[in-house]
Chain A
């Protein structure tokens, strides 16, 4: 190394060091500031997303609340009707036996079929139909209506599909014969929720 180079280094050594230190300081400072800024931006972004989710959730809750308020009375009524019983067939049969004793002269017959799910696509609750066929010979229409009203009062939902009421030939007793096809409807909710 020549003297000139040595002299140049001697003159420029300090400024170069200062420059280098300044650059390092700048880099550190800017890196820290940038990191800080990025963190703040990221936090804001996350908070915004959280807020948006909360807003959507609140809207959903508000909608649910509206739906609840609108449909809860009917839903509770369905509950009171005994629509959500688990294994209702036994209760129905008991009720039918009881009804048989209430109407001993009606000479009626019934057939209760097995349950069939009619909404397999719905994952949260299941609707079951139990077909029920009833044949009876009432003395008059009023008795028929009374019987059917009592049948409907059994817990659950009784859906009338078809009914036929006809007069017997003159001289035959009882004067009327009837045949009705019904469905006994029950609803099953997920385990432990009903």
Chain B
């Protein structure tokens, strides 16, 4: 992704075009109409995200105590303070960081306006206008000292002294100085700053002030700086500044470092107004939309893939079922081949056969009745059968015999004995006796008169067909 970085120094604007953190092009433009025209011509045809870093001497800083208020009220107070301190400044910003409010503004907006107008006219998405002092706290990764003084120098702007109070910018000064002027300017500036801090009671005489020196050029001048028990110096070469990853052969001054900072970090505090950053917001909105579209598309693809996969599984199951169905069909055809009867269904056949079996059970033909009876009577020749009748419709089916005992005239005792034997034989035959009616078995023989003699020898017996014996 292309990135346009513009650093405004007191003498000129330096523009750097980067792609994936690598410098593609860099050029300086003077604060003149000619410079603006050059920038206009130099800008890439396709608008790219732009960040402006302000490294000007015309930047003011203020602090205020922050009373315990709610967030909204704090914000209102901040706006009020900004209006109070910088009423006619176009570029101003503030930060609530308990227990203080930090405020700053750029006093000469004429230096920024032309560049911003060019960028907005070309519809370049301006992400923000950042202050170098505000940005430089990014390198303060060490435990927060109450007060730290950061000294950095670059050949374009000069020496910058920034005082941090618990990582927030308390004040910052830019002193123009070339490489040749750096030594006296540095020594003098440190002296002046220290005395200023003492005089303003920002630092008490017994309080330790940490001074951090960034860049090889400035670090090499460390022996010339005043030694004091309450002054602690730390040198941070630009190439090894913590949290930053510049090339090992970076130049001695901090200019590349500043570009690196702004290329890698985007501070929350910016001088740009919402009107100035509208293109960036829209561009970001467009990116969000693209990302959302890609996300939705991806989600849809995954969902569709899952659905297609499941469909394939379902189709596979369907095919398996179809194969099973075909097998079943073939098997059924095979089974039904030798059982198909167009005349009658299996159930009807079963019912019909069972009905006819039922008929069969109630169908005693003369042969079936007369044979067992005649077999039985062969053993009893004195029994003369007079009538035999049977009823298949009765339930149970019954057989009735009417007979007479022959050859027992006057010998009733013997006749009764003979009848009892017959009765006993009946019990063992397939025909179950139900009832045997005989006067012989009911009366005493001695009481019989002669007139009843003949009827005494008559008897009838009712038998029941024994189905189990069939």
Contact = CB atoms under 8 A, between A and B. Distances in A.
B356 A78 contact: yes
B350 A71 contact: yes
Chain B contact residues, majority secondary structure = helix
A29 B374 CA distance: 96
B293 interface: yes
Contacts of A16: 289
Given A33-B308, A36-B307, A149-B367, A160 B388 contact: no
B322 interface: yes
B441 to A, nearest CB: 23
Nearest to A118: B355
Contacts of B348: 122, 124-125
A26 B307 CA distance: 13
Given A44-B317, A50-B325, A55-B328, A30 B359 contact: no
B328 A51 contact: yes
Interface residues of B, number: 77
Interface stretch (A86-94, A95-103, A163-171): A163-171
A116 interface: no
A125 B352 contact: yes
Interface stretch (B190-198, B208-216, B295-303): B295-303
A26 to B, nearest CB: 4
Interface string B366-405: 1101100010000000000111111111000000001000
A193 B342 contact: yes
A159 B345 contact: no
- Of B303, B344, B366, most buried by chain A (CB within 10 Å of CB) is B366
B232 interface: no
B365 interface: yes
B294 interface: yes
B314 interface: yes
Given A7-B279, A14-B286, A22 B296 contact: yes
Nearest to A21: B293
B88 to A, nearest CB: 25
B451 to A, nearest CB: 21
Contacts of A194: 343
Contact of A166 (B312, B344, B370, B388): B388
Interface residues of A, number: 79
Interface in B252-302: 278-279, 282-283, 285-287, 289-290, 292-294, 296-297, 299-301
A36 B299 CA distance: 18
Nearest to A46: B318
A162 B394 CA distance: 9
B304 interface: yes
28 contacts: A8-B278, A11-B283, A14-B286, A18-B290, A22-B294, A26-B299, A29-B301, A32-B304, A37-B311, A40-B315, A41-B311, A47-B322, A58-B335, A61-B335, A64-B346, A69-B339, A70-B350, A71-B346, A74-B357, A125-B344, A127-B355, A145-B366, A165-B366, A166-B388, A166-B389, A166-B402, A167-B386, A193-B343
- Which 9 A-B residue pairings sit nearest by Cβ, starting from the closest? A26-B300, A64-B346, A15-B286, A11-B282, A22-B293, A164-B389, A166-B387, A15-B289, A33-B307
